Structure 1
């Protein structure tokens, strides 16, 4: 068991280092793309693509006020964007009913693929 715990610790440390390096590289690549004014770049045998996304972040209190039906609230238990989207698609709730319960957060994703 000692070896497993030691290996787990080592891997977690390595993961922290990798996450840090990925973050730094992502930032540098994003800055380069911004300087170039490009959302698509080909660098050697790699294709770099910047993708903008919007994500809704729900306020649990506002959502609860907009959805006072305990049956619907139990289906959610807490705000989860994918569950809420599913309930809208199933016509259990309407987008209009919850329009003031979330804020929109813009997310920038970096995709790097081999050509």
Structure 2
């Protein structure tokens, strides 16, 4: 019986714990992205179209970063939540595109 216990425990993989270092780094990156967005808007000397696309780009990067590090979507076992988020994003973008098409054409 002890041989079975040893062999089964030897097959288990240890779960790697994240230290606070990853949380500090992700928090600092989130703050830097937010400050960059505020700086671009406060500067005001840039083209309005550029500012809008730049802010949307920063928002997309921020969302991906938040999902990966704060919501732990980068870890194993999150395949179905990622598929659900991708499908929801597809449905939302399709609805927005249909609304824009309906209103302007």
Name the TM tier (shorter chain): 0.3 to 0.5
Higher helix share: 2
Q: Per chain length, whose mean CA-contact separation is higher, i.e. which structure has more relative contact order (CA < 8 Å, sep 6+)?
A: 1
TM-score of the two chains, using structure 1 as the length reference: 0.30
TM-score of the two chains, using structure 2 as the length reference: 0.32
Higher strand share: 1
